[in-house]
Amino acid sequence: MNQIEYTNENIKFLKDIFRKYYFENKYFPYLYSIEKREFGYRKFDSLVVRHLSFKNIGELVVELVRNVPLDVYYSNAYYGFPSNPINEKQWEGADLIFDIDIKDLNIPCFHEHTYYICNLCGFVNSEQKLCVNCNKGKTYDISIPCKRCFTAIKKEAAKLLEFLRSDLGIEEKFIEVFFSGNAGFHFHVNDPGMRNLDSNSRSSVTDYIIGNGFMCESIGVRKYRNGFMIKLPKSGIMNGWRKKIASSFGINQKSELKLKHLVEASGGYDGFRNEINRITKKFGVHIDSQVTNDIHRVFRLPGSINGKSGLTKTKCDDLESFNPNNDACMLDDSEVYINLKTKLKINLKNNNFKLDNVLEKVPSYVAVYLVCKGLATISKNQ
Amino acid sequence: MSIKLGSSELAKYPFLQEASDYIQETKFDFAEFDRPEMIHIINRAVEKLENELKGKIYSNLDEYEIEIMTFLVSLLLIKSIGLEEVSKKCSLFEAMRVERFLSTDLSVERSSQKKKLLVQKIFQDLFDINIDVDSTSSICKLSVPDYLLRASKMYEQEWKLINRSVKDGYVYLDTDEAVRLIRNELSNLIYTRVKNMKVYEVPILIKSKADELRKKYSGRYVYRNQFKILEYPPCIKHAMEIINKGENLPHSARFMLATYMLAIGKTEEEVIEIFKNSPDYNEKITRYQVEHLAGKKGSHIKYSVPSCDRLRSEDLCFAVKECENLINPIQFGRRKLT
Ligand code: SF4
Ligand SMILES: [Zn+2]
Ligand SMILES: [Zn+2]
């Protein structure tokens, strides 16, 4: 979907800026094995082009500067023939990619900076219902994530990183963390050992990270007749999820009796299972499993502009100090007049903007952000 | 000092290179199978196959010379019988037989060098899995991807990574589990051996036994032409595929499949027929279970098809777009009719 209001001024303004960006930033240092990837892009009219391939970065940049797409994607998969139809591409493996997004975290402040835009007249409503302006359109929501949102998502990202390093044992050099350019992070794992995993195997990994499907039996609690019995697994309970759960209960390989009491206290097998579900929820990470399990997907290209915000998908070397609204904001600051659809506050490139009037003069990077979000349009009179 | 596999290992693992070497060294010739003293071996091979076809593991273990020969004759028999289902089933049960020996060997063998050698010969040389056995605890350690690529073929929840002992990129398994992990590969190995075997002249004695067995078992395993599948829901399609391949279905999936088929109006006979292809098929038990589900036996309750929710939680759901808003698989495809 595309939130940009399709006016000549908007499209011309964005295209000029995007083109300039791709012309000046033609490096894409995190794009490996380009000749084996499938590329695709979304045009400003929302049309999606897929099954493209490029021999080298130069070819790619020429295409970007010539056609100026709104969003640019490339496959996590490596193909023998990337531009063939899907069944004839010859899959040779795929990076393992994880996606976490602010909207999946249920952060309480989220609705404070969410706007409900009418799909017919473009009016900004304050609630999600029938548009109060035209009485016909339905609303879709867009959000301007705040500091608290970013703090929360960074915490989630740190959890994910820990799973990848400690549990899955993936070496640092194979993990690249990117800010998606809008409201999330993408983790690209290009460990050759993981590349060949099929979709089922990947789903076993995502369930592991989310904390889906832990069985009481894995920690030694089994159904028995009408009750339960304890039999610890031979491979022990002091690694992986078994350990996370054992530690939360304060038990170890020798605590059979304590475990028995714990199960009794929680009301037997079923009660104990509920306890476990609470723990897995707490330690699990909110990743989008469908994204990871798909071995033929296309992902936003690192270094490309996110058409939902005008921010760049940016490598993030230190989660703690990373500031998305500054570090990923790479566009021009020449000024331009915009028409705002609502009053709002926003911080970009470490500047605070308090926009209260219908007509405002703002730096281009602010204009791009708001036009991409569908909250403003470029003014006819400059 | 180099440590070698002994004769008892050759007896248990007659598919190893060492066993073939043995046959080479003795300059054994197929024609010798027509000699009367070989009749004992041929009978033994027949007995083993019949056990396997009945769904039993043949656990007798003899001297290695006999075992290696029996193995060879079994392969010849399977090849000459020439029935796909027989090859599949025998390969699977042969694999399970190996699994039983190997699991015991790995947990009771006291020489850690011997243990390592066994692991190397089977896991590494045959299947290219790096695995390490702890000499005291016998716990096996293998990399996460090596584990996942195999475990993803198993449908039981316990094989999901989350239910495993995982640390620093390794999965820790007890010996039973480690050996179970390669069952499919073992059975494939034996299956392909049979498939690729080039036999120009089968010894007469073996050929006549094979003819007998073919007569006895053909038809029994031929799966009746499948029902016209207009549109089964993906969960059912998936289970059918597994069963048609002659692979094992977890209990929960069997329950789903049977209740579904009964619900859409298949007769009990037809439902039993579906299960004929499972490797551990036993007609009496299957019949009882199906009749039970249909409400004729036991509790006299007719069981209904599990909900999509429940199937999702049991990992049996493979939802597609058309599954949207379904509560139960029996709703699938119905809208098209109205
Ligand atoms: S949604 Fe329902 S019908 Fe569709 S696959 Fe899942 S369980 Fe089967
Ligand atoms: Zn409206
Ligand atoms: Zn917020």
What is the tens place of the pLDDT at every residue in A53-76?
Answer: 999 999 999 999 999 999 999 999
B176 is written with which tokens?
A: 């039973």
Taking the CA of residue B207 as centre, how many other CA atoms within 13 Å lie in the half-sphere pointing to its CB? 9
Atom 3 of ligand 1: nearest residue by CA position: B329
Give ∠ CA A211-A212-A214 in degrees, rounded to 5. Answer: 85
CATH code at A8-105+145-207+288-378? 3.90.920.10
Q: Is B326 in the pocket of ligand 1 (CB under 6 A)?
A: yes
Q: Which residues of A touch B128 (CB under 8 A)?
A: none
Q: Residue A213 and residue B164: Cβ atoms within 8 Å? A: no
Cβ contacts below 8 Å, chain A against chain B, sum to 94
B175 is written with which tokens?
A: 């010996």
Would residue A270 show up in a list of annotated catalytic residues for this protein?
A: no
DSSP B156: S
β-strand pairing of A376-378 with A124-125: unpaired
pLDDT level of residue A122 (50, 70, 90 thresholds): confident
**Would you call A382 an interface residue with chain B, using a CB distance cutoff of 8 Å?**
no
B147 is written with which tokens?
A: 């584990």
pLDDT digits (tens, 9 = 90+) for A326-378: 999 999 999 999 999 999 999 999 999 999 999 999 999 999 999 999 999 99
Residues 6+ apart with CB under 8 A from A42: A2, A48, A49, A69, A70, A71, A73, A307
Q: Which of B145, B149, B172 sits opposite A239 (nearest CB)?
A: B172
Longest dimension (CA), chain B: 78
What mean pLDDT do residues A81-96 have?
A: 92
The CA distance from A74 to A67, in Å, is 16
Assess contact for A270 and B195: CB atoms under 8 A: no
pLDDT of residue A59: 95
Give distance in angstroms: CA of A130 to centre of ligand 2: 8
Name the segment(s) of chain A with CATH classification 3.90.920.10.
Answer: 8-105+145-207+288-378
Report how far Cα A40 is from the mean position of its chain's Cα atoms: 18
Counting from 1 in the atom list of ligand 1, the atom nearest the Cα of B327 is: 2
Question: Tokens 């100090």 correspond to what residue?
Answer: A321
The one-digit pLDDT tens for each residue of chain B (338 residues) are 345 667 788 888 888 888 888 877 887 777 777 787 788 999 999 999 999 888 788 888 888 888 888 998 999 999 999 888 888 889 988 888 988 898 888 888 778 888 888 888 889 888 999 999 888 888 999 999 999 999 988 877 889 999 999 999 999 999 889 999 998 888 989 998 888 887 777 888 889 999 999 888 876 543 333 333 357 899 998 998 888 777 788 888 999 999 998 887 777 878 888 888 777 778 888 888 888 887 766 555 677 888 888 898 888 999 888 888 788 898 886 643 32
Q: For residue B310, what are the CA distances in angstroms to A157, A288, B253, B259, B327? A: 31, 21, 11, 14, 10
Q: Which amino acid does the sequence have at B186?
A: L
Q: DSSP letters along B260-325, please?
A: HHHHTT--HHHHHHHHTTSTT--HHHHHHHHHHHTTSSTT-PPPPPPPHHHHHHTT-----GGGTT
Assess contact for A97 and A295: CB atoms under 8 A: no
The CA distance from A83 to A35, in Å, is 10
Report CA Rg, chain B. Answer: 23
Counting from 1 in the atom list of ligand 1, the atom nearest the Cα of B329 is: 3
pTM of whole model > 0.90? no
The CA distance from B78 to B87, in Å, is 6
pLDDT of residue B88: 85
Q: Residue A235 and residue B143: Cβ atoms within 8 Å? A: no
Sheet containing A71-75: order of strands:
A48-52, A39-42, A71-75, A298-300
pLDDT level of residue A51 (50, 70, 90 thresholds): very high
Assess contact for B54 and B217: CB atoms under 8 A: no
CA-based nearest residue to A308, from A183, A151, A188 = A183
Assess contact for A76 and A97: CB atoms under 8 A: yes
pLDDT level of residue A100 (50, 70, 90 thresholds): very high
Mean pLDDT rounded to a whole number for chain A: 93
Bigger pLDDT: A38 or B4? A38
Interface test with A, best of B137, B166, B242, B310 (most A CBs within 10 A): B166
Residue A29 in this model has a pLDDT that exceeds 80? yes
Q: For residue B186, what are the CA distances in angstroms to A212, A304, B138? A: 30, 48, 21
pLDDT of residue B313: 85
The CA distance from B127 to B182, in Å, is 8
β-strand pairing of A221-224 with A96-101: unpaired
Q: For residue A294, give how far its alpha carbon lies from the nearest alpha carbon of chain B (Å).
A: 14
What mean pLDDT do residues A142-151 have?
A: 93
End-to-end C-alpha distance for chain B, whole angstroms: 78
Would residue A288 show up in a list of annotated catalytic residues for this protein?
A: yes
Q: Which helix (H) or strand (E) holds B170?
A: strand B170-173
A322 is written with which tokens?
A: 């990373």
Atom 2 of ligand 1: nearest residue by CA position: B308
